[in-house]
Amino acid sequence: MGSVLKLYIQVAFAVKIVSCSITMVDNTTSKSPIDLSTAFLLRVDQSGQGDYKRIQEAIDAVPSNNSELFFIWIKPGIYREKVVVPVDKPFITLSGTEASDTVITWNDSGDIFESPTLTILATDFIARYLTIQNTHGNTGKAVALRVSGDKAAFYGCRITSYQDTLLDDAGRHYYSNCYIEGAVDFIFGNAASLYERCHLHSMAEESGAMMAQKRESPLENTAFIFLGGKITGVGSTFLGRAWGAYSRVVFALTYMSGVVKPEGWNDWGDSSKQRSVYYGEYKCSGPGANRSKRVTWSRSLTKDEAAPFLTKGMIGGRGWLRPSPTHFKKYQTS
């Protein structure tokens, strides 16, 4: 089997498409505007059979202020490195084939902006079928993923740590069919994010908190919205606690196991926040969805109240969520 045909088959499997085509293009002559059907292909393989051995090397090879899609295909393996997608490198996709066998891992703690295993600062980023983990343990803040760029999407990813797993910091973000695990504030920040059909797993043995949303003004169009999906875990956990005075979190059509504490929500020791936070639930199911003992300042949403949170409208998804490319071209640096 020729090398081009092998590449054709491998990439088609990686992006789960039926067909694609590959052409050779020299980057010195390619200055066309963005074509969402076509991407430059960079391959990362620890064995040396790809274009790069490390993920960061592939990201570094993307030209600054690029205006075309770059698809970085990561061959299965455990990649022990801290990875940053800088602000001047938009339109990058990092893709494995299965999250279970493509792992980006590091072991760091302390500052929430410095400890992440993977940091996204650029706009128009996509991650597919990756495990992103921080293995520091349960002795402090240890971020696995920081998302500070606008228009970022994650598909079929596993994101795991213990405290402060996912810093969903700023911008509009979309998470689809992701698994997110932690114990203390394991999704936190002030982004406008939709989590669709995601699995949240709490590791808190006694009293944890899943969300710490930091909306600080009623003028901020930010929130964490969980649509579908499920909550599992051990011990017990709050659905969320009020990091910001106007913290906003909504769970809709979500299965909640008995790990959810009956009161559901926590004001983080500041009762004044009870008047301004927005914590809503809509048609959730399971033993943890029983609202008979919920705090009185949380909301059982009506159909009309829930409607704005049941689509991708809040994150403007129709304007920036994009399909996988169907054509690939080799990127040549010289």
Q: Which two tokens stand for residue 221?
A: 């169009």
In the set 108, 111, 185, 267, the catalytic residue is: 185
Report residue 168: phi and psi, to 5°: -85, 75
CB 197 within 8 A of CB 174: no
Distance of alpha carbon 26 from alpha carbon 208, whole angstroms: 52
> b/e map of 39-51 (b: 16 or more CB within 10 Å)?
bbbbbbebeeebb
CA 35, distance to chain mean position in Å, is 24
Annotated catalytic residue 185: yes
91 with 66: CB under 8 angstroms?
Answer: yes
Residue indicated by tokens 């001047």: 88
What is the helix, strand, coil percentage profile of the chain, to 5? 15, 40, 50
Residue 327: HSE in the Cβ half-sphere, 13 Å Cα cutoff:
10
Helix H or strand E encompassing 266: strand 265-266
Q: How many alpha carbons lie under 13 Å from residue 86 in its C-beta half-sphere?
A: 12
Rounded to whole angstroms, the Cα distance separating 87 from 101 reads: 28
CA distance 4 to 11: 11
- The first and second tokens of residue 183, run together, are 């114990």
CB 92 within 8 A of CB 122: yes
Instruction: Give catalytic residues, as residue numbers.
Output: 185
